[in-house]
Chain A
Amino acid sequence: MPDDHFSAMRQSIIDGAPDTASSLAREAVASSIPPIDAINKGFVPGMHDVGEQFAHGQMFLPDMMASAEAMRAAMAVLDPELKKLGTERPRAGIVVLGTTKGDIHEIGKILVGTMLTAHGFQVHDLGVDVAGEKFAAKARELKADIVGVSALLTTTMRNQKGVVEALEKEGLRSQVRVVVGGAPVTRRWAEEIGADGYAKDAMSAVTLAHELMQQKLQIVS
């Protein structure tokens, strides 16, 4: 597989071009390129670049949304191929995501979910207006490593604390790391409610998730 094909895949993500990404993914399958190579050498580096550029203020949220859409289009082609081969991407961790109770905003959460997925996490998105108990139930069901709770409003960010409490009540707190984010949320708030981390944007959520997984693995080992 020529490197320029991987380069085109990467560029399709940077350009936020779902049709191109999907087409390149299909070409890869037709050319018998291992789907895992197309993902890890082509599309994921594109998402990584987007994340980097976003973190440096060179790309903007609408660009990132478009890139995420392109990534989804590529994965829609490649995921079934992985399954056919009986393989799957090495999983970086299991994440349950949602917007806190009383809040129906999900842009930030979608971006975080997309970036985490692109970086190898298995993400289950509970959607919006999610009660703490629901987070806890899904975390138990999936044996989640991380629960991510988003809030856009100052009035609903208080409910992030309810998620920490629900996990405690269910006896899951020692196994599940809690990450909070959203426009009004701060690191101090995360500390105050007993969360394990605060991510200011989608890219830092990925970095934080990797760090938390490292910590978790060290504790286990």
Chain B
Amino acid sequence: MRPKLELLDKPLIERILDEAFQLIEDPGVRVAPYVEDLLRSAGITVKEGVAHIPEVLARRLLDLVPRGFCLYDRLGKPAVHYTGDTVHFDPGSSCLNILDPETQRPRPAMSTDLVRLVQVAEMLPQFAAQSTAMVCNDIPPEIGDWYRLLLVLWYSEKPVVTGAFSASSLNTLIDLLAIESGGRETLRRNPRAIFDVCPSPPLNWSEFASKNLVDLARAGVPAEIVSMPLAGATAPVTLVGSVVQHAAECISGITIHQLAQPGSPIVWGGAPAIFDMRTGKTPMGAIETAMLDLACSQVGKYLGLPTHAYLVAGDGGVVDAQVEMESGMSAVLGALAGINMISGAGMLDFLACHSIEKLVIDAEAIASAQRLIEGIQPRGVSLAVDMFAQTGLQGDFLKLKETRTLFRKEQHFPSGVIDRGLPSPDGTTPDILQRARHRVDELVATYERHPLPDEVERELITFTQREAKSSGLEGLPGILCPEPNLTK
């Protein structure tokens, strides 16, 4: 059996959904003018910017959402399966700062930092997808969202979890993906990326978010709702009350999305958190935050929808025992909950900072979590009797053929980041941060970029130069070695 963790029983989920449906009808959901006509055409009352969505209609639209879909890698293979209890991880998104690898102090993230993170994540099988992990401070803000996507597409073959910074830039990101995929139709058929779209708590779909939902639906590019109730601040203080709000925000978002294009893929996701009543901070490493994530995703699963959550992040400002305790715990919890995409690895300081060293440590926690959900399997006809028949009471199991053939299935072998007593090459006993740094260097050194086809690279560069020109971007930061003929 596969181990599974659930926090809600069926009657409570039904109550949560019942109240969520009540909320979207009364008081309703604030929506942008952009979607008012769309909603009215479906018979939804919209008064003074507030949509009152009837449960019957919302339920009907929920039924139209695909129960599963895939994200594809550059080679066109399905690499992320948003369905059932399949679990994937990706690095956290949109960080402004990075812990400098040398000083371990936060500083603004640059495009070279994003490239390094992408290279490391590319080498780690624990991450099924990349993310547009950082906001690159050396890139003009008005082109920052699509430029970071370009960097990820340039250096990675994995699917990407991304997002636009404004309503107007979404189409630029989709154009970029279409170039890389070989056209919008191929992108629709084999989506390479999924876009996070965030309602503003409580119950508000802003112009930016509403437009993103509609445009993504019509482009057939998957959307991932990232609802962020902050329990006690922008949502009810009770965990279950926040789960209700999360459900109401997701259902109303799905209503807008499915009205725009029925059957377009969308994910029931979020980054809920508690609100610390002493500091006003939103601790992502708090156990209650993890409980919110698990409960919210359980409601989505109950509806049969693909799910997402924000976990594997810590709150301390440096890579230390606290941060890793928080990150490791939530990695395990998220995996046990069977959440399809778990974002957040590498992040610390209340999601304000990324650390590539933390990312490789988190990868070890993720590997352990992935091993955990494989569970304990019977292997062979007998469980132990046959092996005892061979060794008797001598207990010499090390010599058995079964031992040799099965130990790799039974045991996960962590990298050198985890101290299992292996001697270090230089005889020293490095601490975990040193081991993580070494691991990062090792992964970057062995990373090898797989170029895109020449014509695609040329088109991407031409696109970038054209789009970046008006914002005054000089050169192509982060793209270190394009072939000379590509930049002409």
Contact = CB atoms under 8 A, between A and B. Distances in A.
B321 interface: no
A186 B280 contact: no
Interface stretch (A24-32, A117-125, A152-160): A152-160
Given A154-B96, A192-B108, A183 B278 contact: no
Contacts of B206: 104
Interface string B147-175: 00000000000000000010000000000
A105 interface: yes
Contacts of B352: 154, 184, 186
B350 interface: yes
A183 B280 contact: yes
A1 interface: no
A184 B351 contact: yes
Interface residues of A, number: 23
Of the four ranges (under 10, 10 to 19, 20 to 34, 35 or more), the interface on chain B belongs to 20 to 34
Interface in A133-181: 154-155, 157-158
Interface string B193-217: 0000000100010101000000000
Most B C-beta atoms less than 10 A away, residue of A60, A104, A108, A183: A183
B94 interface: yes
Interface string A35-75: 00000000000000000001001001110000000000000
B280 A154 contact: no
Nearest to B163: A155
B340 interface: no
Contacts of A157: 96
Nearest to A158: B141
B232 A62 contact: yes
Contact of B280 (A104, A108, A155, A192): A108
B277 interface: yes
B282 A61 contact: no
B281 interface: yes
A81 interface: no
B259 interface: no
Contact of B277 (A60, A104, A158, A184): A60
Contact of B351 (A154, A189, A192): A154
Contacts of B165: 155
Contacts of B350: 183-184
A154 B94 contact: yes
A76 interface: no
Interface of A: 54, 57, 60-62, 102, 104-105, 107-108, 111, 154-155, 157-158, 183-184, 186, 188-189, 192, 200-201
Given A105-B233, A158-B135, A201-B279, 17 more contacts: A54-B278, A57-B278, A60-B278, A61-B277, A61-B278, A61-B280, A102-B208, A104-B200, A107-B233, A111-B280, A154-B135, A183-B282, A184-B96, A188-B106, A189-B96, A192-B108, A201-B280
Interface of B: 94-96, 106, 108, 135, 141, 165, 200, 204, 206, 208, 232-234, 275, 277-282, 350-352
